[in-house]
Amino acid sequence: MRKWFLSTVVFGMLLRPAAGQDAASIHLVEQAPVAISKVAPGVFLVDFGRVVFGNLALTTAHMTASKVVTVRFGEALKDGRVDIHPPGSVRYAEVKVSPNGAQAVIVAPPVDARNTKAPAVLTPAPWGVLIPFRWVEVEGWPAELRADQIRRRAAFDSTWVDDAATFHSSDPMLDKVWDLCHYSVKATTFAGVFVDGDRERLAYEADADLTQLSYYAGDADPRISRATFDRLMKFPTWPSEWTPQMVFIAYADWMQTGDKAWLAAHYEGLKTKLLNERAGPDGLVMSTPRQIRHGDIVDWPEQERDGYVFTSVNTVVNAFHLRALEEMSRLAEALGKKEEAAKFSEQESAAQEVFQKTLFDPVRGLYRDGAGTEHASLHANLFPLAFGLAPVDKRQQIAQWLAGRGMAGSVYAAQFLLEGLFENDEGTAALGLMTAPGDRSWRHMVESGATITWEAWDQAYKPNQDWNHAWGAAPANLLPRFVLGAQPLEAGWSRALIQPHPGTLRWVQGRMPTPRGELSVGWKRDKNFTLTLTLPAGMTAKIKLPVLEGSSEVRAGGIPVMAHREGQWWILEKDLSGTVTIEER
């Protein structure tokens, strides 16, 4: 491996965080440019193909000591050149380099005080400042700039393996969406914890919750998720609904790993994340005027809230509270704390009864935004649906209503919206929203040339947005969970659920890592529905297949198996294991 460093850091070596830093191990990876072109006299444009957080190494042995070279880093192009005045928080930096007789120099951008000083998550100081960039302009380089003279030093989580997860389908655009989102998760691990992009480099609970789901679809190692959790316990943030998402993160860790020791060590801290201190006598969470102004968030940015009417009893805030209580009950049960599990369950049941009476309008079959208003927004309905709070006999109606509203929320809310649609037999609508025309879908990001997902759907909806926000990467987890159809059903993936939601797709093939090994799924739909499944050792799976018109039986390995129909699904009576082909006829 070529060594580009002049200092004490050897390129490619793994570094632990400096003392006091709360982050997982990350490493620097050498990357060659994919293209170099001359764009003006003495100016070369270098394209590395995708945005990454990093800096540069230049071989300068042939240069005179007095020569000064200008290097411009950019996330955006304008008229074929690095955009030196990019919009919002899109990054640009310029550095002047003098080799002074050195064989090689490390070129890093200047320090940005906002995201390189505490409380920002810091990267190892010996690496130099990291910046998100795809393109570099080099001005003043003597003769031609060769590919072997410039390398990008890219920072990633050290456990990530690019091809540990794959997704291919009959829809080329959907494949591009998955690739964009999957890569976005990798590219934003540079800090060793899940952060909110480059503007602040802070950990936020909502970002961590969504990113964790997508990370586990690409890497089964829990360390970066746990490092993020630990940091957020020390440095919690301000939004009301962000707090209960700490319970969601812990619950996802439990389902992923089945690790009781880690759960037990964090259990007492989770009790402080339920919003119980804000619960009134009827069990519902109350909001003060100050919490309404600065706390209850519903969605972000503010203009993505679908006209939400804020009141002292907020439907979205209470939906998060109820979901957290349900998951805390399950976590307490997992640790053998039966009395506490029963207490959380009883609290949730009592509060949910009041929640339904106060906030659900049985005439319209929709949830109001809060007590004291009749306004029914997208958000007041998508969160109760995604969290399983909506009355069973009303869920399909709510799902259809949400599907008809379209993407009337942000990239953050889209995670929960699409979960609710998939889980209530609106998979066709969910997939359609991912690849919809217009500027409110991942197709728009793909067609705009994004290589990391954005903080918002478009600059028009958040002018100061950054272009490296993993909370916008929801399809990285939604496509494996609902289209491949693989989710843990019991902690540690001892038992999985395999339930593909095909929508209008004709076929899908993919794999994902689990703590027990690789899980692969392939299915195709023509006259019959055929699913080929390979489970790692120690894992069994409950199988649900979408009912095709005229189908009357299910076969596994060519042999008829016991199955029954529930609505739109064939459900096999017995779990399967190993490698098996299941066919619906």
Mean pLDDT confidence for 59-83: 88
pLDDT computed for residue 285 by the predictor: 98
> Could you check whether 238-406 and 491-584 share the same CATH topology?
no
What stretch of H or E contains 563? strand 563-566
- Which letter, b or e, does each residue of 449-480 get, where b requires 16 or more Cβ atoms within 10 Å of its Cβ? ebbbbbbbbebebbeebbbbbbbbbbbbbbbb
pLDDT at residue 88 above 50?
A: yes
CATH superfamily of 491-584: Maltose phosphorylase, domain 3 (2.60.420.10)
Which pLDDT score is estimated for 102? Answer: 73
Assign a CATH topology to domain 238-406. Answer: Glycosyltransferase (1.50.10)
* Average pLDDT of every residue of the chain: 94
User: In terms of DSSP bridges, do strands 517-525 and 166-169 run parallel, antiparallel, or are they unpaired?
Assistant: unpaired
**Which helix (H) or strand (E) segment is 167 a member of?**
strand 166-169
Q: What's the pLDDT at 15? A: 47
Q: Whose CA is closest to 188, among 115, 126, 244, 132?
A: 132
* Range of weakest confidence among 22-31, 148-157, 359-368, 439-448: 22-31
Instruction: Spell out the SS3 assignment of 232-261.
Output: HHHCCCCCHHHCCHHHHHHHHHHHHHCCHH
At 363-414, the pLDDT tens digits run 999 999 999 999 999 999 999 999 999 999 999 999 999 999 999 999 999 9
User: Quick one: tokens of 286?
Assistant: 């109350």
Domain ranges of the chain: 14-157, 238-406, 491-584
Which residue reads 């060793």 in tokens?
A: 192
- Say how far residue 160 (Cα) sits from the centre of its chain: 15
Q: Residue 11 has what pLDDT?
A: 38
The amino acid that residue 140 corresponds to is G
Q: Which residues lie below 8 Å from residue 162, measured CB to CB, with a gap of 6+?
A: 186
> Measured between alpha carbons, how far is 388 from 398 in angstroms, rounded to an integer?
12
Give the rounded percent of residues in the chain with a pLDDT score beyond 70.
95
pLDDT of res. 23: 58
Homologous superfamily of the 14-157 domain (CATH): Galactose-binding domain-like (2.60.120.260)
DSSP letter at 34 equals S
For residue range 2-53, list pLDDT tens digits in order: 223 222 233 344 444 433 344 568 999 999 999 999 999 999 999 999 999 9
Does residue 422 contact residue 390 with C-beta atoms inside 8 Å? no
